[in-house]
């Protein structure tokens, strides 16, 4: 097995040095920091203490006025927030390393707090929408701790030559306690009362410079996002390509404390991954991702515990969302690879014996699963005699049939990914 990335098959290089420096500079008490590297995201570290007051600068509003990066708009439940009650704070501003990260705070009990539900208000039921203007910095990919009911909670755009990103997400209840001073990080079975962080929301964007040298290469993963509630999602996830089969697999390692301080209530982890069509084409080798079905990606969840993974093609056919839900811990492995992408078998077959030597097989078009149908192959058999013919629509015509001979026929679809399965048999009469 060879660790590779992208269509060029370049070896993954884990850019640890710049991110290690960022980790050493992080604000003490920041609950989580993330940087995107090597085909995905890597957690930089976490702490269980709330952020120190004034430890990092507040993200300004563009209307202040302020130069990018700045907030275009911040809403809670579709209403502009009071900046005296809610704010966004920089965790790391590292454009030279290719990323920015931030977290949310609310003012309660005379202090700014990142555990926004600390006063008893359930912020996890509220939807926050943050629109950031990054100027000339291109936020190619996004990751964050939060949750969303939207298929794609992240929208990227360019306005007046400035790159913008819009994130719609709700805070989460985190259970911390993992030890990041060891490699790999170790998470306990039970947390303490101080490890329960209610109402937390953060984010990080990355310019994808590690993926390639050109803007065209960066666009391959443009729109990739990872929204989760687990304390650790790092590793980093890499794309591993089998040199024999060419099959690529992306792996995430999820870690979290298993249960709360009462030793009874079990923490359940969730992860929402969005894979854009360009990534599905170039990394997974799916020719027509806008035709994908849930089975077009094969997933697995390794490690001991419960959890499910479902694949959901987006309604607008611009990407696929992978939902990892109900995961119990401490260490689990999410793997995503290409599934079955050849077309389904044609259905509703019928036949017509046109003449003594010719006949036609009719059918309903095959449904693609990641690779569009390019043609159909029909096969009719009588004993050891086999006749084949090709077609491009909902019927295939045979012109070399034996007189007074009946046939059993079936059809299958052809695509760039190969042939799909054969259809059910249909009988072709011996005479018109």
CA distance 280 to 102: 29
For the chain, state the CA radius of gyration.
27
Question: Among residues 72, 48, 49, which one has the least CA distance to residue 59?
Answer: 72
Strands 373-382 and 407-415: antiparallel
Q: Which region, left, alpha or beta, applies to residue 137 given φ > 0 means left and ψ of -120 to 50 means alpha?
A: beta
The ranges assigned to domains in the chain are 2-338, 347-428
Given this model, what pLDDT does residue 209 score? 81
Contact (CB, 8 A) for 406 and 382: yes
At residue 348, does pLDDT exceed 80?
yes
Question: Among residues 109, 128, 124, 101, which one has the least CA distance to residue 174?
Answer: 124
In tens, the pLDDT along 146-178 reads 999 988 999 999 999 999 999 999 999 999 999
Tokens representing 7? 């269509």
Among 46-60, 264-278, 366-380, the range scoring the smallest mean pLDDT is 46-60
Given this model, what pLDDT does residue 248 score? 84
CA distance 44 to 415: 43
In tens, the pLDDT along 179-207 reads 999 998 999 999 999 999 999 999 999 99
Mean pLDDT calculated for residue range 294-298: 96
Given this model, what pLDDT does residue 237 score? 56
Classify the C-alpha dihedral 324-328-330-335 as positive or negative: negative
Mean pLDDT calculated for residue range 207-224: 86
Strand partners, 300: 335
Among 31-35, 328-332, 384-388, the range scoring the smallest mean pLDDT is 31-35
Q: How many CB atoms lie within 10 A of CB 358?
A: 14
At residue 402, does pLDDT exceed 60?
yes
Classify the C-alpha dihedral 419-421-423-424 as positive or negative: positive
Q: 49 or 196: which carries more pLDDT confidence?
A: 196
pLDDT confidence bin for 378, thresholds 50/70/90:
very high
pTM, full prediction:
0.84
Q: In terms of C-beta density within 10 A (0-12 exposed, 13-18 middle, 19 or more buried), how is residue 337 classed?
A: middle
Given this model, what pLDDT does residue 19 score? 28
Given this model, what pLDDT does residue 56 score? 54
Given this model, what pLDDT does residue 68 score? 97
Tally the C-alpha atoms within 13 A of residue 44's C-alpha that lie toward its C-beta: 31
Mean pLDDT calculated for residue range 384-396: 95
Given this model, what pLDDT does residue 37 score? 30
CA distance 4 to 327: 28
CA distance 209 to 187: 32
Q: Which fold has domain 347-428?
A: Immunoglobulin-like (2.60.40)
DSSP code for 194? G
């Amino acid at each position: 097995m060879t660790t590779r990335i992208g269509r060029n098959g370049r070896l993954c290089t884990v850019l640890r040095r710049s991110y290690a420096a960022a980790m050493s500079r992080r604000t003490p008490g920041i609950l989580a920091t993330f940087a995107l590297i090597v085909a995905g995201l890597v957690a930089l570290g976490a702490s269980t203490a709330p952020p120190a007051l004034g430890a990092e600068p507040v993200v300004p509003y563009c209307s202040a006025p302020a130069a990018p990066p700045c907030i275009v708009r911040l809403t809670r439940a579709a209403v502009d927030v009071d900046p005296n009650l809610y704010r966004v704070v920089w965790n790391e501003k590292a454009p030279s390393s290719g990323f920015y990260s931030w977290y949310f705070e609310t003012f309660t009990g005379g202090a700014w707090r990142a555990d926004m539900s600390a006063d008893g208000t359930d912020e996890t039921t509220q939807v926050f929408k943050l629109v950031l203007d990054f100027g000339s910095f291109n936020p190619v990919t996004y990751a964050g701790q939060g949750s969303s009911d939207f298929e794609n909670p992240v929208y990227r755009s360019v306005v007046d030559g400035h790159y913008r990103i819009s994130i719609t997400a709700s805070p989460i209840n985190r259970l911390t306690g993992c030890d990041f001073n060891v490699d790999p990080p170790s998470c306990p079975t039970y947390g303490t009362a101080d490890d329960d962080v209610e109402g937390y929301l953060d984010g990080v964007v990355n310019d994808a410079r590690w993926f390639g040298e050109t803007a065209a290469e960066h666009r391959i993963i443009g729109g990739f996002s990872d929204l989760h509630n687990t304390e650790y999602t790092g590793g980093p996830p890499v794309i591993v390509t089998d040199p024999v089969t060419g099959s690529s697999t992306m792996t995430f390692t999820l870690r979290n404390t298993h249960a709360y301080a009462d030793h009874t209530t079990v923490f359940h982890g969730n992860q929402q991954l969005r894979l854009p069509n360009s990534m599905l084409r170039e990394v997974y080798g799916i020719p027509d991702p806008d035709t994908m079905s849930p089975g077009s990606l094969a997933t697995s969840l390794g490690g001991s515990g419960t959890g499910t993974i479902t694949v959901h093609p987006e309604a607008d056919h611009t990407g696929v969302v992978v939902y990892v839900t109900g995961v119990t811990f401490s260490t689990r492995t999410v793997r995503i690879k290409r599934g079955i992408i050849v077309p389904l078998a044609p259905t509703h077959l019928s036949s017509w014996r046109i003449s003594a030597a010719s006949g036609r097989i009719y059918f309903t078009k095959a449904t693609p699963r990641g690779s569009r149908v390019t043609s159909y192959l029909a096969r009719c058999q009588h004993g050891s005699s086999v006749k084949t013919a090709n077609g491009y629509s909902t019927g295939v015509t045979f012109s070399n049939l034996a007189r007074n001979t009946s046939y059993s026929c079936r059809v299958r679809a052809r695509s760039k990914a190969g042939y799909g399965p054969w259809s059910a048999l249909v009988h072709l009469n011996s005479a018109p």
